[in-house]
Amino acid sequence: MTKFIGTGVALITPFKEDLSIDYDALERLVVYNIENGTEYLVISGTTGESVTVTNEEKKALVAFIAKVNKNRLPLVLGIGGNNTANIINEIKSTDLSNIDAILSVSPYYSKPTQEGIYQHFKAIAEVSPKPIILYNVPGRTSSNILPETTLRLAKDFDNIIAVKEAGNNVHQYLELLRTKPEDFLVISGDDDLALGVALAGGAGVISVIGQALPKEFSEMIRLGIAGKAKEAYGLHFKLMPITGLIFSENNPAGIKSVLEALNISKSHVRLPLVEATDKLKSHIKEALRVLGKS
């Protein structure tokens, strides 16, 4: 699936002061990414505050982004959770005509065994009309999809095409890359490790910071995939400070503060999240100034 090689971005959901969705800001964000090198867009992931977006809002977000996108970039939609039956129902009842793949997070809170994780994704794969990207983020789910489980799923189901690996675990990345089927994609979900993964044979990244700095971040990943380490690390080192800052309090408060500083959207988040502190916002503005972005 070459359409998912390179830089995908996990879009925020911009909110107005009253916490309704800010569609004008969302349009600016989508167009900004389309025009500056992003390869694909991910809707309603963790960074999109999916757990506090209603089903009606989610449908409206998909329709709006598809309208703005005009088939220019592939679209990935987050459909996941810890109730397998509900996920199956959502897949069956969602209009996926504009969607190129589903991103499905490993069940959180329930902490299933590896066999439970396998059976969960097996049930999803058997009903999904679209390719599936597994999403492993142990820091949020409290369970880890082990490489052997990921690879078992990859070998057993043709429509499970990739994993977004976000465990910040270099050894696990390398084990997946060493043993994966040739056409299975290992996508970094860790912005700080994305270049190393690309250089080691990964397919790229689903990035948070990439939506704010799409030109620089996507070029870094393209250079990494091409094996041009020296040039790629030149960009990586420039982006390191801002990348670290956006995750220092919580995600997506950090990236929303970056996008506010860039005059793309406001920094409002829905509870239980809170906005970045004034101290972090100040550090973010300084990091952007150093990058020549303010």
On whether the CB atoms of residues 70 and 81 are closer than 8 A, the answer is no
Angle at 64 between CA 48 and CA 126, to 5 degrees: 65
Taking the CB of residue 57, how many other CB atoms lie within 10 A of it?
Answer: 15
Which residue among the candidates 40, 118, 130, 164 is catalytic per the annotation? 164
Q: Annotated catalytic, 279?
A: no
CA 138, CA 129: separation in Å to the nearest integer?
27
Give 278's contacts (C-beta < 8 A, 6+ positions apart): none
- Structure tokens, 217: 């971040």
CA 287, CA 285: separation in Å to the nearest integer?
5
**Residue 109 backbone phi and psi in degrees, to 5:** 65, -45
CA 250, CA 46: separation in Å to the nearest integer?
11
CA 241, CA 248: separation in Å to the nearest integer?
11
CA 37, CA 104: separation in Å to the nearest integer?
25
SS3 content of the chain, % helix, strand, coil (to 5): 50, 15, 40
Q: Annotated catalytic, 135?
A: yes
Which residue among the candidates 58, 135, 180, 256 is catalytic per the annotation? 135
Active site residues: 135, 164
